[in-house]
Chains A and B, each alone.
Chain A
Amino acid sequence: MRLPPARGVALSLLLLTAILFPLLVDNPYLVSVVITAYVTAIAVYGLDVMLGYTGELSLAQGGFFGIGGYSAGILMATYEVSFWIALPAAVVMTAALGYVIGLAALRTRGDYFAIFTLAVGVMIVIIIERWEGVTGGTDGLIGIPPPSSIGPLRFDSLTAQYYLVLFFLVLTIYVVWSLVNSLVGRTFVAVRNSEELARAVGIDAGKTHQLSFVISAALAGLGGALYAVFLGYIGPAMGGVQMTFMMLVYLMIGGVASLAGPLVGTLLVTGLMQFLQAFAEYQMMALGPILVVVIIFFPKGLAGLAKLLPERWRR
């Protein structure tokens, strides 16, 4: 699968902008906002694998984000495990839990699946809050160290952490892109389109859902682990239902089942929320109408709009 040249150029320019960003913007606050958006976007990509490509809405994504964060955080802060071991361990742990939860959750579909996973998400927060000895309870977990250096590469500066997170974001986008543009992605979409037809052509729909759910959870785990390490402290709210719904908002606004959607939506809404921070609780009042407008007029989000406009101009 080769990219058309125009898209290749556009992608290179975007990547260049992302690479130059912390060097050009001399504002640590802004850089840290973008880092937070990147790590969240990784989990939003996971949400899109399940919702956009496989057609099931998982509302446990925030919970998995929390599991990834707490797994990495506990390993690093309590057991002093190196980041380079804690990160893959957190991803594997989240994926494994995703697998087990999927075994039960994927007996349901549609609204029932969404409600089931919502309940799972709520349970995850409760467990994080109550398991004080391990998670620090409602006080949260503090003292998560920055990643240890590899040879001359040190990760204690903001810029270095920015590049680290950018690397994993690019990796995530590559993984999702390569899945979507493969027989595996075709299988996901076939199940989304019609589970009945997919089964009739020999596709194991249960296994396909399970695979998609595990990938979705693994990406949430990756994002969560990076989030914990980047912030240095975490609280139960990172695994909360509100986190899930924010991710869903990012995805809806950015565009479901599009490669740019999760990143565009997360960056844009995170930026907007920062801009509106002065208005504190009224932030949500601005977000609500925006979401409604996007869903009614651009059901495929901003990424869908970007695809639509050139077609209209050509006519």
Chain B
Amino acid sequence: MSAPLLRVEHLGMHFGGLKAVDDVDLDVPEGEITAVIGPNGAGKSTFFNVVSGFCTPTTGRVALNGMDVTGLAPHRIARLGVARTFQTTKLFPEAEVLDNVIIGRRQHTKSNVLDAILRTKRLRTEAAECRERARQALEFAGVLHLEALPVGSIPQEARKRVAIALALVAEPQLLLLDEPAAGINEEETSGLTALIRKVVESGIAVCLVEHKMRMVMDLSDRIVVLNQGKKIAEGTPEEIRNDPTVIDAYLGGSSHA
């Protein structure tokens, strides 16, 4: 049996006495959407930060296609095919949409300072290729018509699509989406849901952290529920919906709050 795309084993991330992530196991198989849900402070974002290399876990290991990547720097993990978005989009508002996305292709290019100064053929070919790929990614995300506008001037939903295009332009195997639907309305959310489905259909596995339950239930093949850093349930949307532990964590948690 071949290793899953992403396998996380006994993952723990402790900050002093706080166990933000505590002994979590999780597999993300190829071609599926796996959602990570849980109440605020459940450790979802920390989980993403560990998988994408921004935090080195206290315990456990992260493996990509069977290869141990625990503790690798974020750019190394990105180059191994893991792309991510951030809860708050970190795009450069003053720059044009296309310029924001081109940089996502940089990891596949080799041009260096000498290429730049001597204006070599390699630089020109790579620059043209990056531009073309960036336009394709924007088209895929449905925002190609905005390519020449500054990011700061386009609507919130379009920015989220641009952020996804930026993640996709590198042609990752795995896309980590950190609350992609935060701050947008219902109608826009369903548009974004369709885009995420399209991403998976194109052969990219998605791991999703999201609060909007309808989106999670619509999209996910499997759902993992975290509470206070621990995995409390795992299963299909149907199983999770009826899981008493989950209901208790959510309803119990919020009624006490």
> A201 vs B107: C-alpha distance in the bound complex, in angstroms?
7
Q: Given known contacts A197-B86, A199-B75, is B116 in contact with A186 (CB within 8 Å)?
A: no
Is residue A211 within 8 Å, beta carbon to beta carbon, of the partner chain? yes
Q: Please give, as numbers and ranges, the residues of chain A lying within 8 Å of B208 by CB-CB distance.
A: none
Contact check, A203 vs B90: say whether CB atoms are below 8 A apart. no
Q: Please give, as numbers and ranges, the residues of chain B lying within 8 Å of A242 by CB-CB distance.
A: none
> A190 vs B90: C-alpha distance in the bound complex, in angstroms?
10
Is residue B38 within 8 Å, beta carbon to beta carbon, of the partner chain? no
Q: Please give, as numbers and ranges, the residues of chain B lying within 8 Å of A190 by CB-CB distance.
A: 92, 103, 106
Is residue A215 within 8 Å, beta carbon to beta carbon, of the partner chain? yes
Contact partner, A197, options B90, B115, B123, B127, Cβ 8 Å: B90
For A, the interface residue count at a CB cutoff of 8 angstroms equals 26
Contact check, B107 vs A200: say whether CB atoms are below 8 A apart. no
Q: Please give, as numbers and ranges, the residues of chain B lying within 8 Å of A37 by CB-CB distance.
A: none
Q: Given known contacts A197-B90, A201-B104, A202-B170, is B75 in contact with A183 (CB within 8 Å)?
A: no
Q: Given known contacts A183-B123, A201-B103, is B113 in contact with A194 (CB within 8 Å)?
A: no
Query: Quick one: which of A182, A186, A193, A211 has the most chain B CB within 10 A?
Result: A182
Q: Please give, as numbers and ranges, the residues of chain A lying within 8 Å of B23 by CB-CB distance.
A: none
Q: Given known contacts A203-B75, A205-B75, is B116 in contact with A194 (CB within 8 Å)?
A: no
Contact check, A211 vs B75: say whether CB atoms are below 8 A apart. no
> A197 vs B89: C-alpha distance in the bound complex, in angstroms?
9
* Closest CB in chain A relative to B115 CB, distance in Å: 7
Contact check, B86 vs A200: say whether CB atoms are below 8 A apart. yes
Is residue A268 within 8 Å, beta carbon to beta carbon, of the partner chain? no
For B, the interface residue count at a CB cutoff of 8 angstroms equals 36
Interface string of B83-113 (1 = CB under 8 A from A): 1101000111001000100111011010111
Contact partner, B103, options A178, A198, A204, A211, Cβ 8 Å: A198
Contact check, A178 vs B107: say whether CB atoms are below 8 A apart. no
Interface of chain A residues 191 through 231 with chain B (CB within 8 A): 193-194, 196-205, 211, 215
Interface string of B110-124 (1 = CB under 8 A from A): 011101110100010
Chain A residue at minimal CB-CB distance from B94? A193
Is residue B50 within 8 Å, beta carbon to beta carbon, of the partner chain? no
Chain B residue at minimal CB-CB distance from A181? B116
Is residue B220 within 8 Å, beta carbon to beta carbon, of the partner chain? no
Interface string of B143-180 (1 = CB under 8 A from A): 00000000000000000000000110010000000000
Interface of chain A residues 38 through 83 with chain B (CB within 8 A): none
Is residue B214 within 8 Å, beta carbon to beta carbon, of the partner chain? no
Q: Given known contacts A193-B92, A201-B166, A205-B75, is B103 in contact with A187 (CB within 8 Å)?
A: yes
Is residue A15 within 8 Å, beta carbon to beta carbon, of the partner chain? no
- B interface residues (Cβ-Cβ under 8 A, vs A): 52-54, 73-75, 78-79, 83-84, 86, 90-92, 95, 99, 102-104, 106-107, 109, 111-113, 115-117, 119, 123, 126-127, 130, 166-167, 170
Could you give 9 example pairs across A and B, Cβ below 8 Å?
A175-B117, A179-B113, A189-B103, A190-B92, A190-B103, A201-B83, A201-B104, A202-B75, A203-B103
- A interface residues (Cβ-Cβ under 8 A, vs B): 174-175, 178-179, 182-187, 189-190, 193-194, 196-205, 211, 215
Query: Given contacts A182-B111, A201-B78, could you give 15 more A-B pairs where the C-beta distance is less than 8 Å?
Result: A178-B117, A179-B113, A183-B109, A184-B115, A186-B99, A193-B92, A194-B92, A197-B90, A197-B91, A198-B75, A200-B86, A201-B106, A201-B170, A202-B104, A202-B170
